[in-house]
């Protein structure tokens, strides 16, 4: 769900991934965990899906970021880095799904998959600078979304 906007897209990737796992099970060498091998297949499928569709995102208007929104978080009431909030994993996934596909993919690869910006750039066919920029903007937008959602629930 971290790589997609909705459950249907996530289920498509998982289904395609498990088909790939079952069809290539004989290629699993036993080096590393089976879980790690399956995870790598799933992540690679998400990357492939992003690469295949990245030009379509611009046409669909999904490249818009929260920075383009007129509504801003009130700076006076904005959280400082010292404040601690009780944020659930579901709230984080929900916020991630609202990011543009480029921001979401770079954020996932950098934070959850421990890719370097060089690795991300090579995998997605973008520059290292674009990877760094997308990651910084994704973090900023995630913070805005999470703060906005926290204010709604208070």
The predicted-structure confidence for 45-102, as pLDDT tens digits, reads as follows 988 888 777 655 443 334 444 444 334 444 444 445 556 777 888 888 889 989 988 8
Count of domains for the chain = 1
In a domain, 144, yes or no: yes
Mean pLDDT of the residues in the chain: 80
Q: What is the pLDDT of residue 115?
A: 94
In a domain, 48, yes or no: yes
Spatial CB neighbours of 19, under 8 Å, sequence gap ≥ 6: none
In a domain, 1, yes or no: no
CA-angle at 58, arms to 54 and 123, nearest 5° = 20
Q: What is the pLDDT of residue 73?
A: 40
Q: How far apart are the two ends of the chain, measured CA to CA in Å?
A: 26
Domain region containing 139:
7-153
CA torsion through residues 79, 82, 87, 92, sign: positive
- The Cα–Cα gap between 69 and 134 comes to 17
- The Cα–Cα gap between 112 and 42 comes to 13
In a domain, 40, yes or no: yes
In a domain, 110, yes or no: yes
């Amino acid at each position: 769900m971290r790589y997609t906007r909705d459950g249907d897209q996530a289920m498509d990737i998982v289904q395609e991934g498990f088909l790939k796992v079952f069809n290539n099970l004989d290629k699993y060498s036993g080096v590393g965990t089976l879980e790690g091998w399956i995870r790598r297949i799933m992540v690679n499928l998400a990357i492939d899906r992003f690469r295949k569709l990245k030009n379509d995102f611009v046409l669909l208007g999904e490249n818009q970021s929260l920075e383009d929104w007129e509504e801003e978080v009130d700076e006076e009431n904005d959280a400082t880095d010292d404040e601690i909030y009780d944020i659930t994993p579901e709230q984080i996934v929900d916020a991630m799904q609202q990011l543009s596909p480029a921001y979401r993919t770079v954020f996932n690869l950098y934070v959850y998959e421990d890719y370097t910006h060089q690795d991300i750039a090579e995998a997605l066919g973008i520059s290292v600078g674009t990877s760094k920029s997308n990651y910084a903007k994704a973090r900023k937008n995630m913070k805005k979304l999470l703060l906005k959602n926290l204010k709604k629930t208070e």
